[in-house]
Structure 1
Amino acid sequence: MSSHPLTCAAVWGRRQAIAVAALSLCVGASWAAYPDKPIKILVPWAAGGATDQIARMLAQPLSQAMGVPVVVDNKGGAGGVIGTQSFVKEKADGYSILLATSSTNAAAPHLYNKLGFDPVHDFTPVLSLCAIPNVMVVPTKSPWHSLKDIVTAAKQSPGAYTYGSAGIGGSQHLAGAQFKTAAGIDIRHVPYKGSGPAAQDLIAGHIDMMIDTGSLGSIRGGLLKPLAVASAKRLPALPQVPTFTEAGTPMIASAWYGLMLPANAPAEVVERLNAEVNKLLKTPDIRNRLTEMGAEVLGGSSADFAKFTLSEIKRYEAIVKDSGAPKE
């Protein structure tokens, strides 16, 4: 018999320690290998809008940086809520990333009685990407040539004109509601499953106007006519277009975009994604492409983005209330 016998408890304790050590090594090796399979960027809107454009802009260079395919998965509906509800059920392993927006992760909590996700506890913020002011656009063949033309026509025929949006609670919806209040007019809201389908109907003349964030391509292509930008100063991309304030109806409305993972994502994964995307945001190609969309490039730490989203949830409570948008 050994001169230092082990009790049953001591043997169990030693076995536990060995098991924990082995598990820690396995977990460490697992995250060290991240990523080792394709990554999905979930866009909770239909293809074609600003959110989709940003996701596709990032997908290829992020794939090169991470060494695995990065695909974009569009899952639109209910102002981005349906896709976001689906996202929070995904594994928090870094292989499913949400292209979050101010609409889904700041405004929606104040617009839906049964949201289906918690805007704070169901997400792990990765980083802020950019912010884009909304632009009032009308079809090229529209008889309106200024914001005052719209206000005059709407006051002469209350309820006769329509504005489109990516869905209830989207930045276009709230901007339109703000415009109605600021101008004292009655225009009807027509929600879509994304800003892409809404813009297509606008170009076709099925709706009358839209206050959108992703319309610069259609403006440059001669399909849409910009009348005002909802920012404090004119956009470098549209230097000849006045602000809403300059056009006689003071208001500011913009949308922000960022990346999030499901709740409790591993810190190592968050740090890797944050570092790689921050690098991409500093490249001339990505910066120029975002600037051409009228965006302000952001970036920063995950902690910065977490703090920002908390403040935005609070800020949008007042915006939604002031807009008069009904809670669904």
Structure 2
Amino acid sequence: MIRKEFLKLCTVGVALAAVGHAAIAQTYPQKPIRLIVPWPAGGATDAVGRALAEALRVQLGQSVIVDNVAGAGGNIGTQQFIRQPADGYTLLLATSSTNSANPYLYKKTGFDPVKDFTPVASLAVIPSVMIVAAGSPYKMPADIIKAAKATPGKLSYGSGGVGNSAHLAGELFKSVAGIDVIHVPYKGSSPALTDVMAGQLDYMLDTGAYGQIKGGKIRAIAVASNKRHPMLPSVPTFEELGMKGMTMNAWYGLAAPANTPPAVVERLNAAVQAGFKAGDLGKRLTDIGAEVRPGDAASFSSFWKSELDRYAGLVKLTGATLD
């Protein structure tokens, strides 16, 4: 008798939960949404975040406020994010730097890379591109390698901060090429790009420089991808130049806090997919050099976990650590 009553209560509970989730899906969102971008304004990550925010605003009919909470390679903003209610009103622009690399670069990130998040939707990947000043004497990666081996510890490369994709790509290049160069971290990609253009840095491996390349302010000499980039058809890949293993890109996706109701996740994912179908989101992302990667929450979750495994090997290969 007790077992029957228990089963009856469980059935009722499941039914009520289903009704509750349906109600949430119909009413969400009822107020503005905050999108935390754990990197400074400017650069590729911020551009992706603002493109996403605009698409969500259009599809959900609510304001989406971009909040750049930078510091510690994206950890500070992410730590702030995981403390927020799991109600869909605080979201995170998840990135390969913060959510794949940092768990292996930092002894303590302040968050669990899987348990503290609910994957919502994948957005895009952007291949890293090796760039130099427009007037640089380096015409190809081999020129940089030759100079670095002739004067160890003299050449320098920049990044948008310790732990970001440019830093890890730079360390990967050092490892593959077997050279000794100096890493110069900045607070965001924009000041690093400025110093590349001015010749203060010898080179950089970045994901957010496509506009400057197109404008002729800097020169691309290799793409860290398995195929040439459609925006840079004349620029060879590292593999074409004989450097195997030099594949590096940044990925971007939308995440909610752990235990966010499935109905909210579905609503948000549907809004992202609608943004891609409308064309505006995809165009804004491809304009900054991204390859769009739309998909459901389940496929994004699988990808997220596989990237954690990949970055574990990558960080071990480069020997990069931050504390």
Q: TM-score, length-normalised on structure 1?
A: 0.89
Check whether the contact 1:46–1:74 (CA below 8 A) recurs between aligned residues: yes
Q: Deviations over 1:100-120 (max 9, x none)?
A: 011111111101111100000
Q: Does 1:90 align with 2:84?
A: yes
Q: Which moved more, 1:172-181 or 1:190-199?
A: 190-199
1:139 equivalent among 133, 138, 158? 133
Alignment-mate amino acid for residue 275 of structure 2? L
Aligned to 2:5: none
Alignment-mate amino acid for residue 65 of structure 2? V
User: Size of the alignment, in residue pairs?
Assistant: 313
Q: Does 1:235 align with 2:229?
A: yes
2:216 equivalent among 193, 217, 222? 222
Question: Which is higher, the Rg of structure 1 or of structure 2?
Answer: 1
2:187 equivalent among 190, 193, 211? 193
Check whether the contact 2:21–2:262 (CA below 8 A) recurs between aligned residues: no
Q: Deviations over 1:263-287 (max 9, x none)?
A: 1101111000001101212333332
SS at match of 1:282: helix
Distance in structure 1 (CA, Å) of the matches to 2:41 and 2:33: 18
Aligned to 1:269: 264
Distance in structure 2 (CA, Å) of the matches to 1:207 and 1:101: 25
Distance in structure 2 (CA, Å) of the matches to 1:203 and 1:286: 29
Aligned to 2:100: 106
SS at match of 1:227: strand
Distance in structure 2 (CA, Å) of the matches to 1:202 and 1:224: 8
Aligned to 2:161: 167
Distance 1:230 1:31, change over 3 A: same
Q: Does 1:253 align with 2:253?
A: no
Q: Does 1:300 align with 2:302?
A: no
Q: Which moved more, 1:153-162 or 1:56-65?
A: 56-65
Distance in structure 2 (CA, Å) of the matches to 1:180 and 1:224: 21
Distance in structure 2 (CA, Å) of the matches to 1:190 and 1:286: 33
Aligned to 2:35: 41
Distance in structure 2 (CA, Å) of the matches to 1:140 and 1:120: 42
Check whether the contact 1:48–1:197 (CA below 8 A) recurs between aligned residues: no
Distance in structure 1 (CA, Å) of the matches to 2:29 and 2:249: 34
Aligned to 2:9: none
Q: Deviations over 1:13-69 (max 9, x none)?
A: xxxxx9x99999788645532111111211111111111111111222321111111
Check whether the contact 1:237–1:293 (CA below 8 A) recurs between aligned residues: no
Q: Does 1:315 align with 2:314?
A: no
Check whether the contact 1:166–1:195 (CA below 8 A) recurs between aligned residues: yes
Aligned to 1:9: none
CA RMSD of aligned residues (A): 2.4
Q: Deviations over 1:157-185 (max 9, x none)?
A: 11111111122221111111110111111
Which runs of 5 or more residues in structure 1 are unaligned?
A: 1-17
Alignment-mate amino acid for residue 242 of structure 1? P
SS at match of 1:97: strand
Alignment-mate amino acid for residue 294 of structure 2? G
Which runs of 5 or more residues in structure 2 are unaligned?
A: 1-11
Distance in structure 2 (CA, Å) of the matches to 1:282 and 1:216: 24
Check whether the contact 2:121–2:254 (CA below 8 A) recurs between aligned residues: yes
Distance in structure 2 (CA, Å) of the matches to 1:183 and 1:327: 21
SS at match of 2:232: coil
Q: Which moved more, 1:246-255 or 1:147-156?
A: 246-255
Q: Deviations over 1:134-178 (max 9, x none)?
A: 000112232222222211111111111111112222111111111
Q: Deviations over 1:280-318 (max 9, x none)?
A: 123333323323333221111111111111111111110
Distance 1:181 1:21, change over 3 A: closer
* 1:248 Cα deviation after fit: 3.5
* 1:252 Cα deviation after fit: 0.8
